[in-house]
Amino acid sequence: MAATTKKKNGFWTFADSFEGDKVVWIIVLLLILFSIVCMFSSSSRLLRDGMTRLDLVKNQFFVVLAGLAVIIVCYNIKNIKFFRWCSKWGFLLSLGLLVLLDLHINLPPVVKALNINNAYRILSIGGFQVHVFEVVKVAMVLYLAWAMDALKQGELKWPKKLIWKKILYLYAPFLIIFALIIPGSNSSALIIGLLMFVMILLGGGNFKDMLILAAAGVALIALIVGVYNITKNTEHPLFSRIGTGVARIFEEDHWEQQAIDSPKGSIAYQEAIDAIRQPYSAKIAVKQGGLTGKGPGQSTQRYVVPDMSEDFMYSFIIEEYGLIGGIFVIFLYVSLLARGSIIARNCGSDHYAKLTVAGLCLLITGQAFLHMFVNADIGPMTGQTLPLISHGNSAFLCFSIAFGIILSFSRIATRRIDKETRAATPLVEMHESAVQDGLQDLEAYESGQIDNELNNQEYDL
């Protein structure tokens, strides 16, 4: 009677039951752990109404649990057609949210556009704050992946000419979304615009059409800048964020010089100090972090930088965990990009899955490195968060959706890799007779028989 072996249960057998890419799972979990640890000792601005830092960690823990739930739900959706169906509504979702935001809708408690730091970026929907631009980033990646796949598959029956299909389903949504984001954030408009451009390029956009699209985008920017210059001295200037962006790019030393020239204690001096406090304190945090950092909870710049937990999270990580911790975070995002390229390459003939994985990985890693560049004083301030680490409930959930979709689609790649591995011809084929001969030689060597034969041959010589 053949003995039956019982499969042991344990952590590793549990881990093996996950079909998604294991490396991406590890990256997600490590980023989440960083978010919890960093939130404990980051900016005190988040502490309200007698809250303690333990309360802050507790709140972040609940956000993390919600994000993990979203990731697991998306991961367990095995029908790729469901994601594809949802993706085609990404443009309409983005359009609706941006229109409400730009109209400064005010219908509490249902929906209300919130003005924070002289810009409208957040909608309060039923009391839950939704960072609209974070939703739009993920939604437009999914939409463009669907649109380009639908064009390739010939699913779009109207209009009949291909060029009009491209204009209606690709180029017009690109320009509309780009224009609607600019009133709230120049940096988000450029990031999302560049991401959409790269997505169309990856999807097979030809060189001539891409040049026309780029020219249209530049013309749109020039038009908006012109409108701002005409109306900037009026009571209600249009596209006022353009002025902020131009000042950050072309008037970099304005505030520093004003702080030097103004008497200490004056209003002009205080305005200049307030303007440069955050970027200068972020650089101080990087300098003081050194190689190993000050240690968890030992940050001093968190008391100076109010947005340490959001816009300057990477500086905070280096201050407490040093250059070693900063390099480790970089390694996680670079690893995600590398694994994403492998997953996309092994999605077979599924054009939609390839574009979705590539677009989402580019979104996450691109935003992460842009955040790091700003923290290292490379380029103007953008206000972009560090994905899955920085504080922000809606942003955390949006990136959780992105990771969940990547993990779900990685199943396709994993199965394909396993199938190719099983079907692959071994580099060296060993027949049973060759194996038996090898075992006999091994036994002869261990018994000393081969040594004796070699000695006899040596004596014969």
Model confidence pLDDT, tens digit, residues 346-360: 887 788 999 999 999
At 459, the pLDDT band (50, 70, 90 cuts) reads very low
Q: What is the pLDDT of residue 455?
A: 52
At 127, the pLDDT band (50, 70, 90 cuts) reads confident
Lowest mean pLDDT of 61-65, 144-148, 449-453, name the range: 449-453
Highest mean pLDDT among 64-68, 300-304, 308-312, 392-396: 64-68
pLDDT of 190 over the 70 cut = yes
Lowest mean pLDDT of 194-208, 333-347, 413-427, name the range: 413-427
Q: What is the pLDDT of residue 9?
A: 55
pLDDT digits (tens, 9 = 90+) for 134-179: 999 999 999 999 999 998 888 888 888 888 888 899 889 999 998 8
pLDDT (mean) for 418-442: 57
In angstroms, the CA 296 to CA 250 distance is 38
pLDDT: which is higher, 144 or 248? 144
pLDDT (mean) for 44-55: 65
pLDDT: which is higher, 83 or 238? 83
pLDDT (mean) for 382-407: 87
Q: What is the pLDDT of residue 460?
A: 45
pLDDT digits (tens, 9 = 90+) for 21-31: 888 999 999 99
pLDDT of 8 over the 60 cut = no
Lowest mean pLDDT of 7-11, 45-49, 239-243, 334-338, name the range: 7-11
Lowest mean pLDDT of 39-43, 246-250, 383-387, 419-423, name the range: 246-250
In this structure, the dihedral spanned by the alpha carbons of residues 112, 115, 120 and 123, taken in order and rounded to 10 degrees, is -30
pLDDT (mean) for 192-213: 83
Q: What is the pLDDT of residue 385?
A: 83
Contacts of 129 (CB under 8 A, 6+ apart): 114, 122, 123, 393, 394
Q: What is the pLDDT of residue 448?
A: 58
Of all residues in the chain, what percent carry a pLDDT higher than 70?
A: 73
Lowest mean pLDDT of 14-18, 95-99, 290-294, name the range: 14-18
Q: What is the pLDDT of residue 31?
A: 92
pLDDT: which is higher, 278 or 202? 202
pLDDT (mean) for 357-373: 91
pLDDT of 97 over the 90 cut = yes
Q: What is the pLDDT of residue 2?
A: 45
pLDDT: which is higher, 261 or 104? 104
pLDDT digits (tens, 9 = 90+) for 312-353: 788 888 888 888 999 999 999 999 999 998 888 888 778 899
Highest mean pLDDT among 10-24, 80-94, 427-441, 444-458: 80-94
In angstroms, the CA 291 to CA 322 distance is 5
Task: State the chain's mean pLDDT as an integer.
Answer: 78
Q: What is the pLDDT of residue 1?
A: 45
pLDDT digits (tens, 9 = 90+) for 114-123: 877 677 888 8
At 456, the pLDDT band (50, 70, 90 cuts) reads low
At 458, the pLDDT band (50, 70, 90 cuts) reads very low
